[in-house]
Chain A
Amino acid sequence: MRTAFRHAAILLALQIVGARVGIAGEVVQVKIADLAYSPAEITIKEGDTIEWVNSDFIDHTATANNGDWDVLIAAGQSARQQFNHAGTSKYFCRVHPDMTGTVHVVAGK
């Protein structure tokens, strides 16, 4: 029993450290509701992470037009993508391609 608690504590500690290591910049939310990204255009800094929060009852994706990244955001869930390089990415939902968005990443450090 004591060993189990120790394992759980180690696991929790690793998760906390992992979360800190994984996300260096800020986490900026983009909401998905009624088949639209909001805001549809967003500017973030290098190292920031976008978290898409899907409040629709169907799954969506955020997929870079150039194929560099592809995030599945399940119905009622959220998912993240970190942006480490300055530039502009246009993206869309693979399932509902009339949903489109733009991410501007600016050098910020």
Chain B
Amino acid sequence: MRYFSTTLAAAFALAALTSPTFAADKPTDPQIAHIAYTAGDIDVKAGQLALKKSKNQAVRSFASDMVRDHKAVNEKALALVKKLNVTPEDNDTSKALSKQAAEKQAELSKLSGAAFDKAYIENEVAFHKTVDGALETTLIPSSSNAELKSLLQTGLKIFQGHLAHAEHLASSFK
């Protein structure tokens, strides 16, 4: 039960972006860049943990894909903010995401074998659903720079693919 609590908490952190209160005060481009980078980094770390702990070939392959893709997107994001001379700005959403991700990492670290594989993949489904939702409803519409918006749109397509992959894997654990 506790396992789901942090997933939900992370979901709420991103879902808060779409609340009417936040909508009135939409995130700025430097904040959006920070949130997107943080979300990517969280999934890189989760993938690295899976590569350390899992012996399931399908899970390892998925984790390896996540590490590679999210690193690639984040490298692209870093290059873009440098080009635009924008400094990503830490904010409450990024902070909440990082905090909850650390708790999730700690929970997953205590698991092993099939229990770890199942929990990792289920968290990947939940995390990508949340991130995709935040990108679609708030981060992309709120971004004002065309290049940042375009990168976020590409990111969304990539992460939608990850979600489909994670859901397919999750169904094999049921």
A residues lining the B interface (CB < 8 Å)? 34-35, 57-59, 75, 93-99
Contact = CB atoms under 8 A, between A and B. Distances in A.
B154 A59 contact: no
Contact of B165 (A35, A75, A97): A97
Contact of B72 (A57, A94, A98, A99): A57
Contacts, number: 42
Identify the interface centre among B76, B157, B161, B162: most chain A CB within 10 Å of its CB. B161
B157 A58 contact: no
A98 B160 contact: yes
Nearest to B167: A97
- How many chain B residues sit at the interface, stated as a range, is 10 to 19
Nearest to A59: B68
Q: Secondary structure of the B side of the interface?
A: helix
Interface of B: 61, 65, 68-69, 72-73, 76, 154, 157-158, 160-162, 164-165, 168
Contacts of B72: 57-59, 75
List 4 A-B pairs, minimum CB-CB distance, nearest first: A96-B161, A95-B65, A35-B157, A97-B164
Contacts of B61: 94
Given A34-B154, A95-B161, A57 B76 contact: yes
Contacts of B76: 57
B80 to A, nearest CB: 11
